[in-house]
Amino acid sequence: MSDLTSTDAAELGRLLSAGEVTAVEVTRAYLDRIAAEDDALGAYLHVDGESALRTAEQVDAARAGGTATGPLAGIPLALKDVVVTEGVPTTSGSKILEGWRPPYDATLAARLKNAGTVLLGKTNMDEFAMGSSTENSAYRVTRNPWDHDRIPGGSSGGSSAAVAGGLAPWAIGTDTGGSIRQPAAVTGLVGHKPTYGSVSRYGLIAFSSSLDQAGPMTRTVLDAALLHEAVAGHDPLDSTSIASPVPVLAEAARRGAEGDLAGLRVGVVTELGGDGHTDGYDEGVLARFTETVALLESLGAEVRQVSCPAFDLALPAYYLIAPSEASSNLARFDGVRYGLRVGDDGARDLDEVMALTREQGFGPEVKRRIILGTYALSSGYYDAYYGQAQKVRTLINRDFTSAWDDVDVLVSPTSPTVAWEVGARVDDPIAMYAADLCTLPASLAGVPAISVPCGLSEGLPVGFQIMAPALADDRCYKVAAALEAAQDAARGSRFLDQLAARPAGSVA
């Protein structure tokens, strides 16, 4: 069963239900690969093999005993370390939470536990999800499985590396400005940011509360839909949770895979890589994007250009709103109730201890964003910065709203470039932020957006982004599945099979 670690999660579920493999066998296969390869890859911050095997044994026993088990029971899973897990170390990639074992589960962690999934471990991330390369992790560098000299994207780069690298069948990431979609794009995965409010934020360590959403990072569109369905739905513990039924997504993916997009109206966003807006985009990324738009047309879609002028200001608006909310959210790390405390010698008072704790516990990007957010919210600058950014956010919403009059979905590249080399952008925050150029509009408007692989450039994966109106996540899955099926058919194999077919850590 050496190929268990390249099998997609839906197929693993089928094998498990049919009794063709046991949860212990599947879990052990993944743990073996983690033990052999994660020193080099750096995807995980915490792996508890004994606990995973114990859970797997329980699932196997329940299944053997005829106890009802759900379709996900026994499938291993990785969670980004921003997800609070009872008794399992949770750091959000920060030294300020080193060694913390939370006393409760995030709602999505509890739902996945109840579904019988097997938690393999917690994945690396940019500290407090601030970054686009996972290099802002306080703990380790994570490598891109396609080329170990390159970044896996971020901030959910541990999750992307784990799933693309065969160290987890699927994973949960979180997306504030693109942190699911961009790492998925640069590692050849499917990554979906759900409609804001459709997946509970209870127990996600908050970065920017009006933007944060958790979602699936998977090898196939169907897997993403299944994992999304498993975590979605109203949660009274999250006051921004939308009280609507769990959306029907796997069925949308299956329908999409049939390949008929007749009547679908697709808008190509001019401001995201279109005419006059190609600065900073790789030629190869734009070429794959153009080919994929043509593929949509060949599947029956009607394609037109759509201009969304306010999208040009998404990046400055985001880098005011997110740091402002972060500066407020991260005030909770005060050295009192959990995590690190520095300098508490009886002589220093609370303020001094707090300042020393935060100085030692936070990394440079977190400090930069807290200072920037403090500035943007400060008296005298509020209107010009934070207030103005919130109005730009309204303009971005209006661009989306008027686009939906004419089209069903909007498309763009997911990120302007392929994965860059480790270290290339660490000293240049502006260059790092540019990786989020295409993902930010959907974040600010709270609409769903998916990234699906659309080919290689320079031997590295390129992502195609599909955005839809709020609560129309099913459209993202349908269109992504149609593209995936058409590309798989043309290639004769799945996208990630190209990675397995070449020597580890090399670019073809």
Which residues are catalytic, by number? 80, 155, 179
Please select the residue that binds other proteins; options are 387, 424, 500, 505, rule is CB under 8 A: 387
Q: Does 383 participate in binding other proteins (rule CB under 8 A)?
A: yes
Q: Which of residues 203-242 bind other proteins (CB under 8 A)?
A: 210-211, 236, 239-240, 242
Using a 10 angstrom Cβ sphere, with 0-12 exposed, 13-18 middle and 19 or more buried, the burial of residue 345 is exposed
Scanning 19-27, 115-123, 158-166, 371-379 for contacts with other proteins by CB under 8 A, the matching segment is 371-379
Mark residues 415-454: x for contact with other proteins by CB under 8 A, - for none. Answer: --------------xx--x----------xxxx-------
Q: Does 89 participate in binding other proteins (rule CB under 8 A)?
A: no
Please select the residue that binds other proteins; options are 78, 317, 410, 466, rule is CB under 8 A: 317
Q: What does the DSSP assignment read for 292-306? A: HHHHHHHTT-EEEEE
Q: Does 389 participate in binding other proteins (rule CB under 8 A)?
A: yes
Please select the residue that binds other proteins; options are 362, 404, 464, 477, rule is CB under 8 A: 362
Cβ contact 274:235 at 8 Å = no
In terms of residues, how long is the chain? 508
Judged by beta carbon, residue 335 or residue 461, the one nearer other proteins is 335
Q: Distance (Å, rounded) from C-alpha 324 to C-alpha 305?
A: 34
Please select the residue that binds other proteins; options are 172, 296, 340, 468, rule is CB under 8 A: 340
Backbone angles phi, psi at 122, to 5 degrees: -110, 135
Candidates 453, 455, 416; CA nearest to 432 is 416
Q: Which two tokens stand for residue 25?
A: 């066998």
Q: Which of residues 91-150 bind other proteins (CB under 8 A)?
A: 100-104
Please select the residue that binds other proteins; options are 397, 459, 500, 505, rule is CB under 8 A: 397
Scanning 129-137, 143-151, 276-284, 387-395 for contacts with other proteins by CB under 8 A, the matching segment is 387-395
Q: Does 404 participate in binding other proteins (rule CB under 8 A)?
A: no
Contacts of 12 (CB under 8 A, 6+ apart): 4, 21, 26, 74, 75, 169
Least CB distance to other proteins at residue 166 (A): 34
Q: Does 29 participate in binding other proteins (rule CB under 8 A)?
A: no
CA 493 vs CA 159, 233, 250, 489: distances in Å: 23, 34, 21, 7
Judged by beta carbon, residue 274 or residue 429, the one nearer other proteins is 429
CB atoms within 10 A of CB 9: 25
Least CB distance to other proteins at residue 170 (A): 26
Q: Which two tokens stand for residue 501?
A: 């077919």
Q: Does 382 participate in binding other proteins (rule CB under 8 A)?
A: no
Least CB distance to other proteins at residue 473 (A): 14
Q: What does the DSSP assignment read for 288-339? A: HHHHHHHHHHHTT-EEEEE--GGGGGHHHHHHHHHHHHHHHHGGG-SSSSSS
Please select the residue that binds other proteins; options are 62, 470, 500, 507, rule is CB under 8 A: 470
Judged by beta carbon, residue 278 or residue 378, the one nearer other proteins is 378
Coil vs helix vs strand at 190: strand
Q: Does 270 participate in binding other proteins (rule CB under 8 A)?
A: no
Coil vs helix vs strand at 26: helix
Please select the residue that binds other proteins; options are 18, 68, 347, 501, rule is CB under 8 A: 347
Coil vs helix vs strand at 91: coil
Q: Distance (Å, rounded) from C-alpha 381 to C-alpha 376?
A: 6
Please select the residue that binds other proteins; options are 394, 401, 402, 493, rule is CB under 8 A: 394
Residues binding other proteins: number (CB under 8 A): 78
Q: Does 255 participate in binding other proteins (rule CB under 8 A)?
A: no
